[in-house]
Amino acid sequence: MTLSRILRPLAAFGAAGLLALGAAGCDAIGSTGGEPSGGGTVEVTTIEKKPQVDPATEYACTQFFGDPDYVSPEYFQAIAMGASALEIGGTNEYMFQTAAEDVRGTFAESTEDVKGAAGKVADWIETESAKGKDADTEAFKGALEGLASACAPMSVHATWANGGGEKGKKPAKLVCAELATKPQLFTEYRNGNVFTSNSFKAIGFRGKYVPKSDRAKVQNLNDILQDEIDNVDDEGVKKALTEVQKPFQKVLDGDPNSSGSRATLDGFGAACEAAGYEGAVDLPSEDPGESGESGGGELAGE
């Protein structure tokens, strides 16, 4: 049998088959809808394509927000510059210009939308900081939120900073970093100190009498704790923070005689270490207020 005699029947079938498929609207191969000849229904699985991410922009966003380890993220350093502006703005122009250029440099290769959002943060640091204690920190907060929104698709930290994130899914490392190293410029304290330092001021190191005039600050810190407790994804850190919260709640429940926050913070530091957080959780052995040491976290540029 010759090769041509073998191929003739296949060719004939192929032509007839293609005509039949065309008449049926190609249902047999699933390119259009319709019911199969047996009367059943065809279940079509739709695969959603993820939006393409620019590698340089993703790198810049994770670099700035510190994903996934959150050790000294540039985001916290930028907030610290805002706190520095309130304290020494107008006296060290070079420091603020350098910090602004660092932000621009991080996002130099990013897409225009993200670069523009970063530029607003840099512009505030460079220009608004000169106003010192009169600097518009709300505008700075808005600029940082704009950058977080732009980076949210590429950074877990940016997602949470932008008000997103799924309850109970916040990385423990991020929670530890926020409480141990994030300057509290946008709290009742409006300074560059971190949560642990401001907790000593609010409810005492080993204990203090908390006047009614300080209740708003105690409430503010308690709210921060509650938010972290509700969202952290690690049970060990959650349990430790529940202990840290107890003296705050005691004051808010009406007892002005606080037992202080220092004793409960040891468990927090240990829980963060167990969760893999490699940043520093600085817990002084003596009351910074009594020893004459600085009462807060380092300000950027110092």
What's the whole-model pTM score? 0.79
Q: Which residues of 105-133 are buried (b: 16+ CB within 10 A; e: fewer)?
A: ebbeebeeebbebbbbbbebbbebbeeee
Q: How far apart are the first and last CA of the chain?
A: 91
Task: Output phi, psi for 168, to 5 deg.
Answer: 80, 5
User: Helix, strand, or coil here: 101?
Assistant: helix
Q: Enter the tokens of residue 1.
A: 């049998």
Beta strands in 88-212 (DSSP E): 208-209
**Residue in the structure block whose two tokens are 């970093």:** 177
CA 180 to chain centre: 14
User: What pLDDT, on a 0 to 100 scale, did the predictor assign at position 11?
Assistant: 42
User: What's the burial of 288, exposed, middle or buried (CB within 10 Å: 0-12/13-18/19+)?
Assistant: middle
pLDDT by residue for the chain (302 residues), tens only, comes to: 443 443 344 344 444 443 343 444 444 334 444 455 555 555 555 555 556 889 999 999 999 999 999 999 999 999 999 999 999 998 999 999 999 999 999 999 999 999 999 999 999 999 999 999 999 999 999 999 999 999 999 999 999 999 999 999 999 999 999 999 999 999 989 999 999 999 999 999 999 999 999 999 999 999 999 999 999 999 999 999 999 999 999 999 999 999 999 999 999 999 999 999 999 787 888 888 754 444 433 333 33
User: What pLDDT, on a 0 to 100 scale, did the predictor assign at position 45?
Assistant: 54
User: Helix, strand, or coil here: 244?
Assistant: helix
